[in-house]
Amino acid sequence: MKIIIMKQKKVALISVSDKEGLIPFAKGLVDLDYELLSTGGTAAELKKAKIAVTEVSKYTKFPEIMDGRVKTLHPKIYGGILALRDNKVHIKQAKKHNIKLIDLVIINLYPFEATIAKDDVTEDEAIEQIDIGGPSMLRAAAKNYQHTTVITDKKDYSKVLKQLRENGEVKESLRRKLAIKIYERTYRYDRTIAEYLRGEKNQDELLDLHYVKVGSLRYGENPHQKAAFFNNPDNSDSNVTNAEVLQGKQLSFNNYIDADAALELVKDFSEPTAAVIKHTNPCGVASSKDIDKAFKLAYEADPLSAFGCVIALNRKCTEEIAKYISKNKLFVEIIAAPAFSKESLKIFSRRQNLRLLKVGKLKKDQFRRDIKKVAGGILVQSEDTHVVAAKDLKVVSKKKPKINEIEAMLFARNVVKHVKSNSVVFAKKLRDGSIVTTGIGAGQMSRVDAVFIARHKGGDSIKGSSLASDAFFPFADGVEQAYEAGATSIIQPGGSIRDDEVIKKVDELKISMVFTGIRSFKH
């Protein structure tokens, strides 16, 4: 391939929303005798750092218009990016129209994903963060990767600078990799926009799943199964995928699943809350005025089942929690929390097999899909993000629940949706205002068996508790068992053909019951 040389400096076009790493990269290019072209915001940042730059509008002799919606859509930009250096006609046309050949294109897109992740963002605000010129220039440069180097990921700045310094050019193998990265990025960007404008993500007629392999796992659910972990690169949620592993060995297949279950549970609570998980089901959950008390109550709710557990906290892990775990020599597989105090990390450092996951500020993606695989296909639904509140309750019994019972019922209801069906959860509000699970029955074929198991596990601690059921009671026998265990109130969706029979039994037993109208099966 013969390159036809035009007498000009090498040119780099830079237009970035995320300006991290911009200045040292730009200085590196100037040191290599590159001329910089840039748009308004980026140009201002470069000028502030006293880096020579030509604004695109000055080069094209056409101003940025329509509030910046139109600024780079110009033949002098696209001609410079797309010109084939080994094509005499292209070079002749470039000279005729005073088009500078653009050797480097550095662009990251308007932060559309981050914008729609904000609370209460309007559609107009979201639409203004749909980048037009950025994806167009990226795709043009990627198409011409044999002559043009294109960067959208700031992590690639150093790779490109290194090759320019060592070779005077970027090797074609790297240019090709960067081009592939562009098409993957613009594909995900456009898909996110389409999904947002579609609104109901679970109503997709076309489902595109894009995951990147993070790494192979030692094995799957069992040692004879092979496994790997894949990450959705577009997710901006606080989750296991995005967690920073502060210490500990590689997470296993089951570790990822349990840690995910634990984190999703504590996200549903605004008060300091701790959850202790085994095989995706909670052994104990508690909310209190501080996370230390919440953790202690959650662990002590069922310490026998908690052996080898995963713990999730919705507040920073403290020194007190670390001391409690260390002093009592608790066998804990993973602790996931928004952050860890320095003191807790020092204590945990003596237990190198304990995995610590720092997940940052907890937030939920309200548009997340729940995907389940069956042989030959997948099932897709919107995530169950609904949190039942006091306003959702309908009192159906003669006896009205007390305020403490309502609070305990809502707590138990928000826990039971995270327990495998059929499931029930007993919970009680304590004198100090804390609320804790007192018995959990998970994954039973009949609801009465779930109550029986929860009653067996809770024992005397159930007296004075409230019971939450993930679905309606088909018969009154489950209500009778709950009463015999010591429950004083019940929360359930309602909707059974025998609701009248169940309500009658509740009234005979002189306990209260409310309906939510919302079922929360978890298969």
pLDDT band at 521 (very low <50, low <70, confident <90, very high): very high
Q: 432-481: per-residue pLDDT in tens?
A: 999 999 999 999 999 999 999 999 999 999 999 999 999 999 999 999 99
Out of 279, 316, 323, 386, the active site residue is 279
Q: Does the active-site annotation cover 143? A: yes
Say which residue, 292 or 92, is predicted with more confidence.
292
Say which residue, 250 or 200, is predicted with more confidence.
250
Residue 56 has pLDDT above 90, yes or no: no
Look at residue 466 in the predicted model and tell me its pLDDT: 97
Measured CA to CA, the distance from residue 503 to residue 517 in angstroms comes to 15
Q: 398-434: per-residue pLDDT in tens?
A: 999 999 999 999 999 999 999 999 999 999 999 999 9
8 A C-beta contact, residue 343 and residue 320: no
Q: Which residue type occupies 160?
A: V
Q: 338-370: per-residue pLDDT in tens?
A: 999 999 999 999 998 999 999 999 987 766 778
Residue 205 has pLDDT above 70, yes or no: no
Tell me what the mean pLDDT of segment 276-302 comes to. 97
Look at residue 202 in the predicted model and tell me its pLDDT: 44
Residue 281 has pLDDT above 80, yes or no: yes
Look at residue 1 in the predicted model and tell me its pLDDT: 53
Chain mean pLDDT for the chain: 90
Measured CA to CA, the distance from residue 204 to residue 327 in angstroms comes to 52
Q: Which residue type occupies 437?
A: T
Phi-psi region of 50 (alpha: psi -120 to 50; beta: other; left: phi over 0): left
Tell me what the mean pLDDT of segment 131-137 comes to. 87
Look at residue 434 in the predicted model and tell me its pLDDT: 97
List Cα–Cα distances, 481 to 79, 448, 453, 495, 519, in angstroms: 78, 7, 10, 20, 21
Say which residue, 273 or 166, is predicted with more confidence.
273
Tell me what the mean pLDDT of segment 518-522 comes to. 93
* 385-387-392-393 Cα dihedral, nearest 10 degrees: 130
* Domains defined along the chain, listed by start: 10-199 (3.40.50.1380), 234-358 (3.40.140.20), 386-515 (3.40.140.20)
Tell me what the mean pLDDT of segment 45-57 comes to. 88
Instruction: Give the bridge partners for 107, in sequence order.
Output: 15
Out of 10, 19, 27, 143, the active site residue is 143
Residue 389 has pLDDT above 60, yes or no: yes
pTM (whole model) above 0.75 = no
Q: Does the active-site annotation cover 97? A: no
Helix ranges (DSSP H) in 32-83 = 40-48, 56-60, 75-82
Q: Judging by DSSP bridges, how do beta strands 424-429 and 104-108 pair with one another? A: unpaired
